[in-house]
Amino acid sequence: MGKPVIRYESTQEPLDDEERELMDPDKWDWENAYEIDPSPNPRLIFEIPLAGDDLRHIERAAIAEGMTVTAYLRHAALRCALQHAPS
């Protein structure tokens, strides 16, 4: 198995000259590069479209439980997933 090819080109066009310069690998400071450890607890943020009535029901339930809507949705999703996930 050969050495993996590392590609540095962008998948998008730069928005302006400053971004074009930042995206240019020839201008990077390779001698003083540093590594950052990956997050031990990476997170994703999901956008969930909700109709007004749905949001009001969820918000009332969250308040009744003393939770934010975000915490309530996270808790409800995890509870549902754990009940239905294969062991």
3-state secondary structure the chain: CCCCCCCCCCCCCCCCHHHHHHCCHHHCCHHHCCCCCCCCCCCCCCCCCCCHHHHHHHHHHHHHCCCCHHHHHHHHHHHHHHHHCCC
**Assigned domain for 1 exists:** no
Would you say residue 16 lies in a domain? no
pLDDT of residue 82: 93
Is the residue at 20 inside a domain?
Answer: no
In a domain, 8, yes or no: no
Domain span holding position 66: 49-87
Assess if residue 4 is contained within a domain: no
- Residues of the chain above pLDDT 90, percent: 47
Tally of structural domains, the chain: 1
Q: Looking at residue 1, what is its pLDDT?
A: 65
Structure-token pair, residue 5: 């090819």
The reported pLDDT for the residue numbered 13 is 85
pLDDT on residue 81: 93
Residue 60 lies in a domain: yes
CA distances (Å), origin 46, targets 25, 43, 69, 74: 32, 10, 13, 11
